[in-house]
Structure 1
């Protein structure tokens, strides 16, 4: 039986999803959520994960009558709910206006309604409500640390059971959350949107995270990852690298954002480019060297500088072109904070879906990601993107003195050809080492099986 409106007062939490509030409301009346939801007429089914099971980030949209009913059941005014619930008042074509007096509701996913959705801190919820219940809130990815309780609140859209990661032994992550507030203010003063600054910085560091699995001198991230995994991530390393990434790299993301907003760093990039006398960015440039120092990795500079085609070199290119007063190649923008779609970092939910599908697929042991190491995949990707960057530099280059044009064309084409050949060889070797028939690999590579065999033997002799 539906509860009598107004018997209990259940206040919303700031940023909470409407679906989360309904679940908490049901608990306060001693009901199951589905029982309370029967008070509304539903126009569709709740979203679920690919493998079955309800999504924690499911959201509810209500018509006017439905909103009045929820306010009455909560024992609060509608304007209170409107201020606290980001989805409040949003309309849906499936819902009637409520002229027939029927409270109606429609399911959505939270991310499609009002942005990223994460679990709230249960300990904070207990302080506010008296009960340590699950809360789901709209929270940007730069506000995931519960400073009071030392927790990283995880995305709610992923198909995994954890709500938070323990940060009590990682004070640097909590400190980064406090520092981000200052960085965001600095972004506003610089005329940049903090959200875009964070997205670009996160993409830069997430790219390092993928490459850093085999960086011998990287010791900070492995220590943090083991900490958030409860002491040892080795039992399921690939999964923990997905689940723990955002918490583990957060201090570096904030440090990179702070660095990219620093005019002195932009000046270093300008100087590295040759200023008024353009030259290719060097592998030992002052900008990347200083950036490595700012993230406590003095050795990182050359690795970051040669990551062609990534978000960091794109940012540098935009800064340099703006100072030089030239336009970017077609498809590019001179806005330093513009992040190309292919450079956007994958979400935890997306990565877990890929991992799950590969493990469940028939013959999953034959999947590329399962048979080719992350290091080899990264080397192939870097070679391809490096060649792409070299070729992009040749757009509109055929103007000016003959010697200058010929020199740049030949140097860039030679370098890109070397990189393409490197990627070609690594791909052929990876396919052969993964157990693909040599005859097929040789045919795809346009070479004889004997030549491929010789290349494999030479690779093994070189330790590749």
Structure 2
């Protein structure tokens, strides 16, 4: 090909072939099937290396889908997620790329580029919608916290904890119990698009980003309490301890009564007990438990 394109780390095969075809101004299908009549004996890795002029090593390391053709170069991933997202626009620019690049999603909680402070995932429909988090660095620190939790306790445990905690925190937000802190961060985010100056829905990317620090602290709290529950805390004393720790870290916007109060206490205790059971299954210990703080 007259022009080559350097693959981006963890880029999808479809994204790379699209960029390579675009820079050479040819239909993308010509890269997949160069000849309409002759069957190509090369596999996808060898064919793409021939057409792009990039080394097989670079392609195999950068594009996970091609690793199965060269296990001696790069170990194939045990499981390749079906979810993708836009790569951080500043990472792409720094790597010398242009346009949008799609990469495989490492996990559901990989939402922020820690290096550049860019919200790149949830609620982002196209690359121009990525959020610069410079006005609210708490969001970037929240991503760092979750990354550390994953390093300590493993992806499986933190992925399950994120899933149940995110659902629980969304319900707290829907009931208006924990909005003040997120609203304070939301007010510091500025947008130049006039269409964005309207009330943000619960799944809008600005709302999701502004409540992410609270969610990260909540996940750290649940992790710490669930690991304590597996060792030196009985189920009977767990309820008051869990509620006391939650009230110490989070200030509710109002004192819940009637149905909301009992629901919140019961659901919180049930969530911690559930993650304690998950920790027992995975044989995690309290010695690895983090200490939640107000720093985020």
* TM-score, normalization by structure 2: 0.69
Residue of structure 2 aligned with 1:289, choices 225, 244, 248:
244
* Residue 36 (1) aligns with residue 3 (2): no
Could you list the runs of 5+ residues in structure 1 that have no partner in the other structure? 43-61, 92-111, 188-192, 276-280, 320-333, 339-464
Structure 1 residues 426-445: aligned runs within 5 Å: none
* Residue 84 (1) aligns with residue 62 (2): yes
Shift of residue 125, structure 1, vs aligned partner: 1.0
> Counterparts of 1:267 and 1:300 in 2: how far apart (Å)?
29
Aligned to 2:100: 134
What SS class does the counterpart of residue 178 from structure 1 fall into?
A: helix
Structure 1 residues 258-407: aligned runs within 5 Å: 258-262=220-224, 266-267=228-229, 273-274=235-236, 285-294=240-249, 296-297=250-251, 306-307=263-264, 310=267, 313-317=270-274, 319=276, 334-336=277-279
Aligned to 1:22: 17
* Residue 224 (1) aligns with residue 185 (2): yes
User: For the Cα contact (< 8 Å) 1:154–1:163, is it kept in 2?
Assistant: no
Shift of residue 82, structure 1, vs aligned partner: 1.5
Could you list the runs of 5+ residues in structure 2 that have no partner in the other structure? 35-39, 70-78, 282-296
User: For the Cα contact (< 8 Å) 1:17–1:136, is it kept in 2?
Assistant: yes
Aligned to 2:215: 253
Shift of residue 197, structure 1, vs aligned partner: 1.6
Residues 317 and 261 (structure 1), Cα distance of their counterparts in 2 relative to 1, 3 Å cut: closer
> Counterparts of 2:217 and 2:18 in 1: how far apart (Å)?
38
> Counterparts of 1:163 and 1:63 in 2: how far apart (Å)?
42
What SS class does the counterpart of residue 253 from structure 1 fall into?
A: helix
Aligned to 1:153: 120
Aligned to 2:134: 168
Shift of residue 312, structure 1, vs aligned partner: 5.8
Q: Deviations over 1:212-257 (max 9, x none)?
A: 244266311223345557399672532x634345423322333233
Shift of residue 137, structure 1, vs aligned partner: 0.7
* TM-score, normalization by structure 1: 0.47
* Residue 243 (1) aligns with residue 205 (2): yes
Q: Deviations over 1:331-357 (max 9, x none)?
A: xxx42589xxxxxxxxxxxxxxxxxxx
> Counterparts of 1:264 and 1:65 in 2: how far apart (Å)?
48
What SS class does the counterpart of residue 261 from structure 1 fall into?
A: helix
The alignment covers a number of residue pairs equal to: 261
User: For the Cα contact (< 8 Å) 2:133–2:139, is it kept in 1?
Assistant: yes
Residues 63 and 311 (structure 1), Cα distance of their counterparts in 2 relative to 1, 3 Å cut: farther
Shift of residue 136, structure 1, vs aligned partner: 0.7
Residues 318 and 74 (structure 1), Cα distance of their counterparts in 2 relative to 1, 3 Å cut: closer
What SS class does the counterpart of residue 137 from structure 1 fall into?
A: strand
User: For the Cα contact (< 8 Å) 1:120–1:136, is it kept in 2?
Assistant: yes
User: For the Cα contact (< 8 Å) 2:92–2:98, is it kept in 1?
Assistant: yes
Aligned-pair Cα RMSD in Å:
4.0
Aligned to 1:118: 85
Shift of residue 287, structure 1, vs aligned partner: 1.0
